[in-house]
Structure 1
C-alpha cells in the first residue's frame, strides 16, 4: 500500500503545482469510469455534448441530475491538475483512483480559470462550470485524510487542487499529448 503524504509534505509540493502553465498546457492522461469503482486509461477518447466523455458512467446516471433525471451537463467532465495528482497519488499509475476524466498540466486556479472560460483541448472545446469539485470520503480513503484536508483547504480550493468540472461545447476526439489553451 502506498504511503500517504502528511499535510506538511503536501504543502511543500505547492510551488511545483503553482508553476503549472496558465496557457498552452498539455493533456497528460484520459480516464473513464465504465462502472462504479472501475477505471480505464485511454490514449484518446471522444467527447460530446450528449455523452460527455464517451465510455464514462456520467451519461448512465450521475450524482447531479436535471429535473427530468438526465445527468447534469455542468459535471460532464472532471478535470484535475496532473502536478497536484502526482504529488497526492505519488505515481501516475494511481491518478485514475481520483475518478477524474482529464489530467492536465494546466493552471486550474480560480485566478486563471473562472466559470464560463472556454478551453481548446486539441480540436475539442470545453467550458468551465461553476459547480465546485470537492474531495470526499473516497478521496480520503485512497489518498489519506491529509490529502483531503489539503484539497479542501482555503489554498486548495483557490488552486482547485481537487479539480474542476467542465461541459463540452464542441465535440471531437482528444488525445493524450494534446495542447490546451484558453479561448
Structure 2
C-alpha cells in the first residue's frame, strides 16, 4: 500500500505544486525557442556566420518546413481550427466552471501554444511570399524567435503568478 501511495504522489495531478509540471513548462519553452520555424537555432547562427553549405542546409530545411506547414494548413485548416476550439472550450469549461487544477494548468500551457501555431503559420506565409534570400530570411527568423521568446516569457510569468496564487489561496486557504 505504501508503494502505491508513493507512486501516486510522484505522478500527482496537482500541477502547480508539482515539480513535474514546472519541468514541462521549462522544457516546452526552451524547445519552442530553440526550434525556429522548424530549424534549430544553432544552424541559423552557423549559416549566418559561415554561409556556404550551412546556409544551403538552412535554406533547404526552411523550405521543407514552410511547404509542409502550409500544405497541412491549406488541406485541413477548418478541421484543425475546429479541433483546437473544441479542446480550448473543454479546457475552459473544466478550468473555469469546475475549478479543476489540472485543466487550469493545461489551459495555461495550451493557449500560448495555439498562439505559437498561428505565429508559425504567419511566418511560413511571409517566408513563402518573400523567398529565402540571405538578408530577409535571417531577419525573419530572428524576429520570429524574438516573438516566441516574448510569448514564452509572458506565458511563464502568467503561469508562475497564477500557480503561486493558486498554491497560496486555494491549497492553503489564505
TM-score (norm 1): 0.25
Higher gyration radius (CA): 2
TM-score (norm 2): 0.26
Task: Kindly indicate which of the two structures has a greater share of residues assigned to helix.
Answer: 2
Greater RCO between the two (CA within 8 Å, min separation 6)?
1
